[in-house]
A and B are shown apart, each in its own frame.
Chain A
Amino acid sequence: MPDAKRILILDDSANLLALTTSALKGSGYEVDTAGTLEEMSAHLKKHKPDLFLIDVVLPDLYGYDLIGYLRDVEKVNAKLILFSSMNEERLRQYVSASGADGFIQKDQGLEAFLEEVTRFLSQG
Chain B
Amino acid sequence: MATLYFVPDQSDNARGKKFVQRAPRCDLILKVAFEHLGQLQDDYLTNIGSGGIFLRTPLPLPVGQSLQLTISLPTGEPLDVEGEVAWTSSERKTEVQGVGIAFRNLDAGTKARLELLVKARETAAVPSKQKVPVHLLLQENNQILREIFSYELYKFSRTQGWELELSHAENGDGTMKLLKARRANLAIIDLDSVPGTFLELVGQVRNQSGHSALPIVGLLGHETPMRTDGPLTMLVKKPVAMKPLLATLAALVAARPS
Measured CB to CB, the residues of A under 8 A from B are 37-38, 40-41, 45, 57-62, 65-66, 68-69, 72-73
Q: Is the CB of B148 within 8 A of A58?
A: no
- Can you name the residue of chain A whose Cβ is closest to the Cβ of B4? A72
Q: Which residues of B sit under 8 angstroms from A66, Cβ to Cβ?
A: 148
Q: Is the CB of A40 within 8 A of B151?
A: no
Interface hit among B80-88, B112-120, B138-146, B157-165: B138-146
Give B228-254 interface residues, CB cut-off 8 Å to A.
238-242
Q: Is the CB of A72 within 8 A of B151?
A: yes
**B 69-99 binary contact with A (CB < 8 Å = 1; else 0):** 0000000000000000000000000011100
Whether a CB of chain A sits under 8 angstroms from the CB of B39 is no
Q: Which residues of B sit under 8 angstroms from A41, Cβ to Cβ?
A: 95, 144
Q: Is the CB of A60 within 8 A of B95?
A: no
Measured CB to CB, the residues of B under 8 A from A are 3, 5-6, 8, 58, 95-97, 142-145, 147-148, 151-152, 155, 221-222, 238-242
14 further contact pairs, Cβ within 8 A, besides A62-B239, A68-B152 = A38-B95, A38-B142, A38-B144, A41-B144, A59-B221, A60-B221, A60-B238, A61-B148, A62-B242, A65-B241, A65-B242, A68-B151, A72-B6, A73-B5
Q: Is the CB of B239 within 8 A of A59?
A: yes
Q: Is the CB of A60 within 8 A of B239?
A: yes
CA distance A60 to B145 in the complex (A): 8
Q: DSSP majority for the A interface?
A: helix
CA distance A37 to B143 in the complex (A): 9
Q: Which residues of A sit under 8 angstroms from B58, Cβ to Cβ?
A: 45
Q: Is the CB of A73 within 8 A of B239?
A: no
- Can you name the residue of chain B whose Cβ is closest to the Cβ of A42? B95
- A45 CB, min distance to chain B CBs, angstroms: 7
- Can you name the residue of chain B whose Cβ is closest to the Cβ of A72? B5
- Can you name the residue of chain A whose Cβ is closest to the Cβ of B5? A72
CA distance A57 to B240 in the complex (A): 10
Show 30 A/B contacts (Cβ-Cβ < 8 Å), sorted by A. Answer: A37-B142, A37-B145, A38-B95, A38-B142, A38-B143, A40-B144, A41-B95, A45-B58, A45-B97, A57-B239, A59-B221, A60-B142, A60-B145, A60-B238, A60-B239, A60-B240, A61-B242, A65-B148, A65-B241, A66-B148, A68-B151, A68-B152, A68-B155, A69-B148, A69-B151, A72-B3, A72-B5, A72-B151, A73-B5, A73-B147
- Can you name the residue of chain B whose Cβ is closest to the Cβ of A56? B239
Q: Which residues of A sit under 8 angstroms from B3, Cβ to Cβ?
A: 72
CA distance A57 to B241 in the complex (A): 10
- Can you name the residue of chain A whose Cβ is closest to the Cβ of B242? A65
Q: Which residues of A sit under 8 angstroms from B5, Cβ to Cβ?
A: 72-73
Q: Which residues of A sit under 8 angstroms from B142, Cβ to Cβ?
A: 37-38, 60
- B24 CB, min distance to chain A CBs, angstroms: 22
CA distance A45 to B144 in the complex (A): 13
- B210 CB, min distance to chain A CBs, angstroms: 30
- B4 CB, min distance to chain A CBs, angstroms: 9
Q: Which of B3, B144, B155 has the most CB of A within 10 A?
A: B144
- Can you name the residue of chain A whose Cβ is closest to the Cβ of B96? A73
- Can you name the residue of chain B whose Cβ is closest to the Cβ of A66? B148
CA distance A60 to B147 in the complex (A): 13
- B155 CB, min distance to chain A CBs, angstroms: 7
Q: Which residues of A sit under 8 angstroms from B96, Cβ to Cβ?
A: 73
